[in-house]
Amino acid sequence: MSKLLAEQKVLKKLGIEDFRHLTKDKVISMASMLDKMDPDVAKKAIEQFPNFSETMKEILHDYKESLDKAQEANAESVKSFYDSCDSIISSLQKELERTDQTFEERKHIIDKMMEINKMKGDKDSENKKFLAIMAFFGVAAVGIVGGVLSSALGGNTKIEMQDNNYLSE
């Protein structure tokens, strides 16, 4: 087991005199060190900074707002792309309605329409991947903050698996 950080070492790493001088920026640094701190030091730090949990909630709220803004920007971008594709397909559809085209010209127009539809499908897949990554990071942030706070306050964060050996007998 590695040596846990003592109070003076934590204060030195944070660049503060005592935990009462903990700022919002330093809270994130401290939270990342909580699992390496002696539990008594972590409790003492949190006691001296009574707004720790409130500050962590605020940080998570800010993070959620950032995720929401990114999703809104993504939604606008995707809608703009789809609107452009739909406009192009509509123009190509009008071209197809003309009767003075050769078979090859019509085939070329249809191929272009299919190509644009494929681009829309690719954009949809890309968008779903982006949303999944955003969801993962949101869940990870909440899980990390919750786990760090829980372990700092002496909670049991072990996940135990049930022994299912009897199933294979």
Residue ranges per structural domain of the chain: 1-50, 64-135
CA distance 169 to 167: 6
* Backbone dihedral angles phi then psi of residue 5, each to the nearest 5 degrees: -75, 130
pLDDT top residue among 96 and 166: 96
Contact 143, 126 (CB under 8 A): no
Write down the residue that tokens 């060190």 correspond to: 33
CA distance 4 to 39: 9
Percent of the chain with pLDDT over 70: 75
Closest CA to 116 of 93, 132, 94: 93
Residue 105 falls in which region: left (phi positive, over 0), alpha (psi -120 to 50) or beta: alpha
Q: What is the pLDDT of residues 41-76, one digit of tens each?
A: 777 777 766 666 677 777 778 888 888 888 898 899
The pLDDT score that the predictor gives to residue 48 is: 67
User: Under 8 Å CB-to-CB from 7, ≥6 apart: which residues?
Assistant: 38, 41, 44, 45
